[in-house]
């Protein structure tokens, strides 16, 4: 159970503190800052930060940093034919991916819907918070069509309207919004698949489908993803399609990194990308080792 101090803090405020800590760690990576130094940077106590971070990630800040370091090193050390993605696939680890297990069904828009920019289409939208901050979600009767992390509600809503200029927008929470919220907050969703209603070209949808097959807690590269869709020379086009992904987290474009091992940019912030990847890696570690709580280190 969260402490009284944490309960008074919204999820977005908690994430903002986590993001600030991650930025500090990235800037001071070589010195491996202590818990005291991180807490001082956040103007909080060591105990509060330890509790905040552990409640958010499920492990201590030190252990979390180790996950990032280890995964980064593995990606660099693997040669072209022995990527983490291939290794995970050969070991059958794809079955451990929550979203992959749920088998999210992608239903593309018809050519007519794509051409008329959403005319006669009703989109229900809702603002919500999760462990990675504030987000805007939009959905039709067919499925989720938009999910964007944001710091400004107005900017997020403007982005949604630009995606579907002629659609009818209704601010109302519907059941699929609630299901997505559970996914974004690490709740058990066995036998509750999410349907997606995507507006995109055939190539974009093919790339987004490939993203759904990347196991949780694992990475692939732009080049490898291009090979997986049988278009090895399309790394740049794949990168563009990934950058156009309209549904954050659920379509896991955050799991694609640079061939050098660097996490690279992310449409919703590089710090948020690092946070999500580290959180997923930590969760997998806890799952495989049967840990309930990580000891304070």
- Point out the residues that are catalytic: 253
203 close to 241: Cβ distance less than 8 angstroms? yes
223 close to 232: Cβ distance less than 8 angstroms? yes
pLDDT in tens, 131-159: 899 999 999 988 999 999 999 999 999 99
At residue 282, the pLDDT reads 81
CATH number of 84-284: 1.10.10.10
* Higher per-residue confidence, 75 vs 107: 75
Domain map (residue ranges) of the chain = 1-57, 84-284
Share of the chain above pLDDT 90, in %: 23
Residue in 91, 29, 81 with CA at minimum distance from that of residue 218: 91
At residue 278, the pLDDT reads 86
pTM (predicted TM-score): 0.66
Confidence of residue 93 (pLDDT cuts 50, 70, 90): very low
pLDDT in tens, 147-198: 999 999 999 999 999 888 889 999 999 999 999 998 888 765 544 678 888 8
Sign of CA dihedral 253, 248, 133, 194: negative
Task: Name the percent of the chain in helix, strand, coil, to the closest 5.
Answer: 50, 15, 35
């Amino acid at each position: 159970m969260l402490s009284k101090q944490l309960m008074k803090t919204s999820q977005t405020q908690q994430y903002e503190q986590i993001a600030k800590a991650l930025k500090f760690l990235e800037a001071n990576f070589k010195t491996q800052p202590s818990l005291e130094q991180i807490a001082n940077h956040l103007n909080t106590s060591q105990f509060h930060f330890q509790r905040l971070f552990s409640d958010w990630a499920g492990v201590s800040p030190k252990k979390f940093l180790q996950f990032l370091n280890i995964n980064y090193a593995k990606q660099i050390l693997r040669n072209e034919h022995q990527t983490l993605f291939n290794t995970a696939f050969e070991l059958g680890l794809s079955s451990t991916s929550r979203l992959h297990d749920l088998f999210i069904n992608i239903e593309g828009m018809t050519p007519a819907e794509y051409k008329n920019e959403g005319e006669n289409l009703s989109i229900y939208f809702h603002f919500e918070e999760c462990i990675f901050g504030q987000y805007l979600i939009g959905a039709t009767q067919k499925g989720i069509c938009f999910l964007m992390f944001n710091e400004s509600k107005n900017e997020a809503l403007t982005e949604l309207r630009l995606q579907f200029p002629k659609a009818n927008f209704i601010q109302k929470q519907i059941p699929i919004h609630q299901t997505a919220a559970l996914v974004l907050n690490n709740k058990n969703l066995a036998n509750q698949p999410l349907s997606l209603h995507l507006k995109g070209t055939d190539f974009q949808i093919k790339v987004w489908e490939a993203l759904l097959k990347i196991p949780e807690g694992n990475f692939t590269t732009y080049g490898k993803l291009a090979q997986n869709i049988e278009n090895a020379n399309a790394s740049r086009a794949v990168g563009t399609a990934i950058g156009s992904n309209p549904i954050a987290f659920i379509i896991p474009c955050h799991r694609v990194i640079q061939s050098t091992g660097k996490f690279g940019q992310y449409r919703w912030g590089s710090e948020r990308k690092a946070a999500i990847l580290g959180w997923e890696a930590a969760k997998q570690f806890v799952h495989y080792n049967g840990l309930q709580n990580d000891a304070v280190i």
